[in-house]
Structure 1
Amino acid sequence: MELRQLRYFVAVAEELNFGRAAARLHIASPSLSQQIKSLERDLGVRLFERDRRTVALTAYGETLLPRTRALLEQADDLRRTARGFAVSEPVRLGYVSWRPADLEERVSGVARLLVDAWVMPSHTQAARVADGSIDLAICWVRATDLAEQQLAGRLVGVDQLYAVSVGYESSVRAQDTVVLVDADTATWSSWNIYALEFARSTGASVERIDDHGITGPAFFDHVRRLGRPVLSSPKRDATPWPSGITRRPVVDPVPMWTWSLVSRWDEASPAVLAAVEALTRDVVVDFGAAPYWLPGDDPFRPGALTYQP
């Protein structure tokens, strides 16, 4: 029996769905199922009743769940105490628009994470790590940026970008899309760099704007005005989708946007290093079989999941 298997048991018990639990744990569903079966063999009891449609705790599972949670909390507390994290300064993390949904859960037991409330552009967050304002940042960076600012980056997530248009829902070739480039480089520097290189590489059209319409209501206004599929940025936005506006897959190639967990290359804090390891250790990204596109200076092109100058 391993603590890892006990964490798997708790995740499945909370989700009551192997697929969701596997996604939460960042492992494959078949592997999770095998680990649960192995745990059941070690314990000598059946923890779950499962069929093709449902998963339910058995009476044994119901009884063991609170004790398992308590045991895991004791293990986490022991780890915090042993490593001195209980009295250490918190690890300060900034982000742009995306962060893992289970961010705090991943670092539980190894560091006290303080998520910075200031949501800033990628280049700004990377610079804040370099000057020591924060310890870590989840942002988009190029290999050149990492080298120039003496930063290390590890892959923590990937977005597959899509196009937005009026009416159609079918896939669209990259060369038939439009990319928006905003005049405000203080806010949209990273996106502008990505968009312009994407256009040069694929033949997509460039539309220059000055109203921050990369996201928000102005973005949908541009989609209507242009009458062509417009590539959407990875910037999360709560604006409701207007009626008649659709999302379309982009193909030949598929545009991918990588998210890096950035730290200082000479970082010596055990808490920061432990947080980096916890947040990236089990990250598995499948770019798929279809041709995809990454910028030429992306630090995570095929075969490279970490970068350090």
Structure 2
Amino acid sequence: MELRALRYFVTVADELHFGRAAERLHIAQPAVSRQVARLERELGERLFDRSPRRVRLTAAGHRVLAAARDALAAADRVRGAAAGPAGAMRIGTAAGVAARLERGIDALRAQSPAFEVVLVDLPPADRLTALRQGEIDLALVRGVAASPGVRVLPAWTEALFAVVSARHPAAGREVVGVAELADGEVRVHDSAVLREAGVREPPRRPPGTVQDTIVEIGSDPRAWTVLPADQVAEIRSTRVRAIPLAPRTTITGSVVVPDALPHTCASATRAAFGD
């Protein structure tokens, strides 16, 4: 019996609506229905009475609900015990959020001083996968509106900048439009950032780190990319220029947490890392 099936069942029981449960879980409704149906087959009992107008727990559903809540709470206690007496917070992160991380960790420690911080540097998609698999406890991401099996909490907004070589024709401009850079070669660091800026990606090449991307752009007067403000603030190279996009374009940054995290904990975490 999978904890995921129990979690989906509990969410449907809370909402008494498969569609609303799917929205809360950030997954497609058929996936919720399949998991609940699988759990019913495994238990040999119908857990819900379904009709076009409403969903109700059966008598067996009421009995299973209490046990399912206990099982999920026990799983959370096991995860907490595995972290050790003082606890550990494993944060999936990447370049360009150092100042935000420091503020967020300080804010959380003000509420609960005794925990260890472990930073795990992963690409955006891998951060979400690691969170679903319990390998990290939260992730900071940009440009993600929803993702299956986790809760995406919008927390901050950043302006986007075009980053070009100091030898680029637009290097002296106060603002620049993406269309004006289209003849050059765009370097991919974060696909979500490029999509938010309206950039159609070139033929696939492996995304580089921010540092590698900056070096490449500084060495090529035709190369460019788009970066959010927090990453621009960390650029130390004198060989590139960061120019605000016109029209002004922003990207939303989010704290992503396990869907089972209690609402009060999730809200405190979002507040800690938000603007």
Report the TM-score when normalising by structure 2: 0.52
Paired residues of 2:137 and 2:257 also in contact (CA < 8 A): yes
CA distance in 2, matches of 1:284, 1:211: 30
Counterparts of 1:215-294 in structure 2 under 5 Å? Answer: 215-222=210-217, 225-227=220-222, 230-232=225-227, 236=231, 240-243=236-239, 245-252=240-247, 254-268=248-262, 275-281=265-271
Paired residues of 2:152 and 2:257 also in contact (CA < 8 A): yes
Paired residues of 1:213 and 1:222 also in contact (CA < 8 A): no
Tell me the residue number matched to 1:170.
174
Unmatched 5+ residue regions in structure 2?
A: 1-83
Deviation at 1:106, TM superposition (A): 0.6
Q: Would the alpha carbon gap of residues 198 and 214 (structure 1) be closer, same or farther in structure 2, given more than 3 Å must change?
A: farther
Tell me the residue number matched to 1:157.
156
Counterparts of 1:205-220 in structure 2 under 5 Å? Answer: 206-208=201-203, 210=205, 212-213=207-208, 215-220=210-215
Deviation at 1:131, TM superposition (A): 1.0
Paired residues of 1:94 and 1:134 also in contact (CA < 8 A): yes
Moved over 6 A (4+): none
CA distance in 1, matches of 2:120, 2:250: 25
Report the TM-score when normalising by structure 1: 0.47
Q: Would the alpha carbon gap of residues 274 and 242 (structure 1) be closer, same or farther in structure 2, given more than 3 Å must change?
A: same
Q: Would the alpha carbon gap of residues 110 and 119 (structure 1) be closer, same or farther in structure 2, given more than 3 Å must change?
A: same
CA distance in 2, matches of 1:225, 1:209: 19
Deviation at 1:181, TM superposition (A): 5.2
Structure 1 residue matching 2:102: 3-state secondary structure: coil
Unmatched 5+ residue regions in structure 1?
A: 1-85, 183-187, 286-309
Number of residue-to-residue matches in the alignment: 180
Structure 1 residue matching 2:119: 3-state secondary structure: coil
CA distance in 2, matches of 1:133, 1:284: 23
Q: Deviations over 1:252-273 (max 9, x none)?
A: 2x232222111111224xxxx6
Deviation at 1:135, TM superposition (A): 1.5
Deviation at 1:91, TM superposition (A): 3.3
CA distance in 2, matches of 1:196, 1:91: 31
CA distance in 1, matches of 2:214, 2:206: 9
Identity of aligned residues (%): 12
Q: CA RMSD in A?
A: 3.5
